[in-house]
Structure 1
């Protein structure tokens, strides 16, 4: 009996201990302004970090509830009941039993603005620089692709051509389960991989290829996205076939197919087209008369555990015929010159690309990364051009007629080998060795004929020649890096690198006309070598809410150049370049963080800027090198603040960027009375070029989160210097805009996306010596609305209407506007999993293709020939099968 009592006592103690280990949350729910208890109300405890449900229960007949949670900390307590306003409050749970919580719910008829908890909560998790979206319960169409899914995620936009942007930065790479898939064009994933196969989307900053391979931090980051698939989607065959044919000879055929079998991923992508795009939510112009053929195959497999192989091969063929009209105004001290040119161009390109990669572990302490990139290309180009230069009084300065025929072949071979020895995984010590070789070969034959007439002395210069340009470049880059953990939270790496560049180039000028008037033989043959040695250091700290990285490198370069041209030319220069970067990120809470980055770069001039070796192909365009150029210094600062609340469907983002370049290398132009322009570069010791950009954006879900509103404010400023006829001029361009989006995308009867923007642009030239200047201030505005109407039985009508005011024609003083309307009617054949469509682009023939550009002493306005107002008949078949 005694033994039984002891066992019972021990059991009671264990039970009480378990109960004590549980943290109790108790409370009562009543109707507001009454003492009436609310029975059967839903009470949920959510993880504050990612809004996941921890526990839930219903209130009893007295309105009381009792919930146990395992750990102390902060939670969200959510209470809801039909036709009552829900309550969500932050709750701190300690080790002791919590005090009783009193909750009052108000009836919806007493609430002016209805707030309803959306059952399809998008869960967002923030971890350092990674934002992770769990997308299991989103409203998607049957055959929607990844692009449609990304458009619904907070802070992500997908442009008309499939480009993905996060926080105004382009996503450079998109992975599938952490592996590359059609790496040369991430838009293939956006347009073709099925949205219903996606489990999670991760967006984060990734180091550049240079930093990842060398551990020498170049201070740059690229934006990437990782698509994590559902388990059932990892064994499937999917794809689509599309065909379009329409007016003006437009057509398009495309096939995409993917086979996923766990770690093995095979993809094929091919297209034959004379279109810019077959989507109606794009600008309705086709530049020139293009024809493209693309064939690509990717194979990704795990050869054995922790050893991955990826291979991509693609063939791209492009042909086009284009026409371009250019109108340029050059601002001189007492005059301005108008340069008009009209050109017709024919081009043909064929490129073969091969990318292979083998990466993984060759044992417990050895990691391998081998990459091979190779290309072979053939380029054909023909152009004919007429140009005339006039004074302010319209009198002619010179005129030109020229033709050019180019036949060029190029090859490249770039192997990369990296091996990493893990000396001690516990202490995070490793030794990294890399060899990277680059080899490029180019052979181009250019046959030109140029006839230039100078009105001042009635001279006519005839260039009738053939040039043979051969170019060979070799690069060998090697480095050794030692890395180690300092303590539990920080790491340090040190690197030594050697970089050797050699280049041979020959330009043989064969004059075929005795009337050619060239002062010196432009033929040349030169060899340049550059050897650089560098030391770098990188330190990182990751401790709780704080992440910091500090890195820098110093590079000493010796440049040697020997040339045989009109006279022997030798150049020896020593340069010192470097980089310093400091990045800090602080997690304010589970939903918000701030980050800042400072970078300093010492930028050395290029050989192209220092040497005068240029083929003379135009008597009015002469390039002059400057061997006395010095390095420039660049300071860059970036600050970011981000906040999101997936439970309330709110995101806030802000960014400030500032860049200043001192002692910059700027263009120097000298224009004589015959209209000849001499181009060179100089350092501006007294000028600092500045750029500034600041933006603030906000998004909020309305009406059960079926409508998303996203206002944004942006201000930008940039300066650019140039010297014209020994007079320094500086352009200052400012823009202030207010805009935003209003989006409804739940596929119920009617969806729409409204984009609007209103701004003020100012272009100011401070060249006070010239009475003809760019001093423009004008209002810009844009309004675009995309709509989709679901009519039932698989019918859908989509349209885009756009109106934009983007500048002023400085010649006619008329406002420049652009407007167009595209319409599409589709019918889904569900049994066959097909879609048929009729698409009409620019139905009112109102599109305007004028483009403007500004520089300190020049204004350029040009117009490319394009095709618009056409229609297409389309057929698309989507297939999806589980293996």
Structure 2
């Protein structure tokens, strides 16, 4: 059905195009000197009135090309080929024109330069290989406009109010300046602070993964990337920003940053403080400043599940649903290249102190196989703090024209404190108490982390032959203490208390882990069409975990041997892989297998027992890519992977915070194997600014590791794990987007669905849960220099079914409407208003509608001739309808949660942006 839909859509658009256009252009591209036919020459037809690209194609192996079904009008035809000067010619076409250009003779650029023949104008849009190039000066923007405003004028590129960029329907995650990171690769920095009149070209392309870029073997990983090419006299500059927002009482969002870039040198310092729900804009901008990324050598379960692990780029992030934040951070960034770009250094330092206070409540209903229902409610007050410092860096050294040495490292020291006070209670069908629980936990800890990677890679003279070697040392140490008090009361059928359990525990945890890994990859192009890749990795891990638990109820704290433990973990893994790739013209297929052999030993030093295990993981993969033409691609992929049970699932470290929940391991667990299939289609017609994409995914797991629970009459749970079949998922999506440059309009529509089937065991009864979601989303955007408007409606229908029974019908509906508009007013003023309308109608589980209308607005004015100073008055949640509330309906479980939030507030803001490109004053475009 999906295939038929694709064919129907393509056929419909093809037919419409044929009906609307009639004229044709034909020709042959030839080298003037050697008289050879120039295969794959890029041919572009550009409308003279607005410089918009109308049609493009490439010459075949005989140099021939043809542009069909063209509307009447005045055009320019541009033909380009590497090392050749561009051929440009003006054409006037009628509805019945049949223009034969004959031989188009291309001149070498070197010859053209020697003859001092200069082409005065450049095409507004052109293809350069697989890169789409926009000539910046061909698109009019206001004086002092930044790069964001320039991007909004380019066909096929969208920029929303938060600065998020989409190109050809895909999210742009990386923005480079002259091919290098600009204070990291965050799109916000370069596009917000660089001026449009400093830009020569905007280049849009799909950036390959580091592995694919080195080996040439497609792994299916591509990131949409924009490269901003600066004019020659704008290579040096500076930028600074101060952003101050306050309600003149208790709320504030403050940040500042200063940076300088000079040729290859980039340096910046920044700081921020915020106690609003939104992150500081400065902190968000600078979050991605880091050393060079590298691929970790991963070997599956490495034992880290038994100890505290942290240290990624988001170590300063508190994962909380809602809450009242108080965040502070400072940092610095430095990057430069030396010795004629043979050497490069990047350094990033960050210090942070983030706090979150949150009051949450939960109400849930659960149906058991014997039709018993439990009604549970809980309330928790939580105060969490994370703080620390980190430094990351990368040193690059191009040892020769074909080899590069990269040394990357990261080190951090993190501290955390947490206090949680709460309780929960469970009632039966008759409303009588079954159990009550009150608990208080306080704890603190710290960790020291180091990780590094030394990589040497080389591309040989023979095309396609490469070698890459990695060495990765890692070290982690952690310490924590925790005090936990708990009081649990049990009731009989009459609601009378029959038993009380009190615990008062003090826990001390220490952990350490050291590992070393090595990886060697080799690729070779065996023939014109066949490429081969092989690799070997190993990793050895040695770690220890010591947990001491004391009973504080006694007059003298006494160690509890049954809860204390001292583990040592040793792991050694070998990984081998082999991949073949076949390429022919626009078609490529790669297929291979990765095998991981692991031995690990878990020693309980207290009980003098050992737990050993050896296993083999197999991960096959196949990727197929068919590039129908420059604008249409079809991809098919398959991945299979094994998942071993974790140590916690095999032999869990017994932990008790509440008597109502325990875990028991299952040493007989077998590994699971997941099969994942994917199909995707993408089409972008940049001449008509039209984008179509579709994907379909399906996966299933054999011997899935699933949970099994025994729930008694007091809602006390004993959890374990078994292997079972029946877990699978299916999802699909179809997207269409169309832009109308003359009308300044763009609209789009997305239709999607996903369904998951999972297996669990409850009281020895198998529960098959099926959750399905259908999504529909539209978008309409209008943009001029004076007005911006966007409307994004969306709807979602969710159903949940359970084989052991359902609470009501398990169905829910939501629909949302995002409306935003911005108007440019006299005296450099700007007014924005936005509405976020959310509708959650009543359903069988929740009898009340849950509708909110969040209305935000601001009025700002830019001062000074450079418009560098901005004052702003903003109001968030004008109608004061924001609520901290979520609800869920799914099969045999329903739940609703509340959390802390910041209600309506008014901010007065002052923003000062200073940037200079050291360029001569240019005429406004």
Of the three residues 706, 710, 730, the one matched with 2:768 is 730
Of the three residues 417, 421, 424, the one matched with 1:384 is 421
- Residue ranges of structure 1 left out of the alignment (5+ in a row): 1-15, 24-39, 56-62, 98-118
Counterpart position of 2:547: 507
Instruction: Judge which range, 601-610 or 193-202, deviates more.
Output: 193-202
Q: CA deviation at 1:704?
A: 0.5
Counterpart position of 1:204: 206
Counterpart position of 1:252: 253
Matched, 1:561 2:561: no
Counterpart position of 1:778: 812
Of the three residues 316, 324, 346, the one matched with 2:383 is 346
Counterpart position of 1:443: 479
Of the three residues 326, 340, 345, the one matched with 2:362 is 326
Please state whether the residue corresponding to 1:267 is helix, strand or coil: strand
Counterpart position of 2:56: 48
Counterpart position of 1:111: none
Of the three residues 907, 914, 923, the one matched with 1:872 is 907
Counterpart position of 2:19: none
Map 1:265-344 onto structure 2 (within 5 A).
265-277=266-278, 287-304=322-339, 305-332=341-368, 333-344=370-381
- Please give the per-residue CA displacement for 1:834-858, whole angstroms capped at 9, x wherever unaligned: 1111100111111233223456643
TM-score of the aligned structures, taking structure 2 as reference length: 0.78
* Alpha carbons of structure 1 residues 396 and 518: separation in structure 2 relative to 1, 3 Å: farther
* Alpha carbons of structure 1 residues 366 and 223: separation in structure 2 relative to 1, 3 Å: closer
- Please give the per-residue CA displacement for 1:122-177, whole angstroms capped at 9, x wherever unaligned: 8475966x777666545656676666666777776667766666799766655544
Matched, 1:467 2:507: yes
Map 1:640-659 onto structure 2 (within 5 A).
640-659=680-699
* Residues 787 and 798 in structure 1, CA contact (< 8 A), matched pair in contact too: yes
Counterpart position of 2:674: 634
Q: Provide the rounded CA distance (Å) in 1 between the counterparts of 2:393 and 2:49.
A: 59
Please state whether the residue corresponding to 1:588 is helix, strand or coil: strand
Please state whether the residue corresponding to 1:508 is helix, strand or coil: strand
Counterpart position of 1:221: 221
Please state whether the residue corresponding to 1:866 is helix, strand or coil: coil
Q: CA deviation at 1:532?
A: 1.0
Matched, 1:536 2:588: no
Q: Provide the rounded CA distance (Å) in 2 between the counterparts of 1:861 and 1:126.
A: 54
- Please give the per-residue CA displacement for 1:374-421, whole angstroms capped at 9, x wherever unaligned: 111010111111211111221111112111111110111112111235
Counterpart position of 2:446: 409
Counterpart position of 2:626: 586
Q: CA deviation at 1:431?
A: 3.5
TM-score of the aligned structures, taking structure 1 as reference length: 0.81
Counterpart position of 1:112: none
* Residues 75 and 90 in structure 2, CA contact (< 8 A), matched pair in contact too: no
Q: Provide the rounded CA distance (Å) in 2 between the counterparts of 1:509 and 1:132.
A: 64
* Alpha carbons of structure 1 residues 525 and 634: separation in structure 2 relative to 1, 3 Å: same
* Alpha carbons of structure 1 residues 96 and 783: separation in structure 2 relative to 1, 3 Å: closer
* Alpha carbons of structure 1 residues 229 and 316: separation in structure 2 relative to 1, 3 Å: farther
Matched, 1:697 2:697: no
* Alpha carbons of structure 1 residues 317 and 71: separation in structure 2 relative to 1, 3 Å: closer
Please state whether the residue corresponding to 1:847 is helix, strand or coil: coil
Counterpart position of 1:677: 717
Q: CA deviation at 1:673?
A: 1.5
Aligned length: 802
- Residue ranges of structure 2 left out of the alignment (5+ in a row): 1-30, 39-47, 60-64, 66-72, 106-120, 285-319, 919-925
Of the three residues 715, 718, 724, the one matched with 2:756 is 718
RMSD: 4.2
Counterpart position of 1:660: 700
Q: CA deviation at 1:569?
A: 4.1
Q: CA deviation at 1:455?
A: 1.7
Counterpart position of 1:29: none
Q: CA deviation at 1:752?
A: 0.3
* Residues 236 and 259 in structure 1, CA contact (< 8 A), matched pair in contact too: yes
Q: CA deviation at 1:739?
A: 2.3
Matched, 1:603 2:637: no
* Alpha carbons of structure 1 residues 483 and 797: separation in structure 2 relative to 1, 3 Å: same
Please state whether the residue corresponding to 1:609 is helix, strand or coil: helix
Instruction: Judge which range, 212-221 or 616-625, deviates more.
Output: 212-221
Q: CA deviation at 1:815?
A: 2.8
Of the three residues 458, 476, 490, the one matched with 1:454 is 490
- Please give the per-residue CA displacement for 1:84-112, whole angstroms capped at 9, x wherever unaligned: xx979998866599xxxxxxxxxxxxxxx
Instruction: Judge which range, 848-857 or 750-759, deviates more.
Output: 848-857
Q: CA deviation at 1:77?
A: 10
Q: Provide the rounded CA distance (Å) in 2 between the counterparts of 1:65 and 1:751.
A: 30
* Residues 216 and 536 in structure 1, CA contact (< 8 A), matched pair in contact too: no
Please state whether the residue corresponding to 1:608 is helix, strand or coil: helix
Counterpart position of 2:516: 476
Please state whether the residue corresponding to 1:704 is helix, strand or coil: coil
* Residues 708 and 719 in structure 2, CA contact (< 8 A), matched pair in contact too: yes
Q: CA deviation at 1:519?
A: 9.8
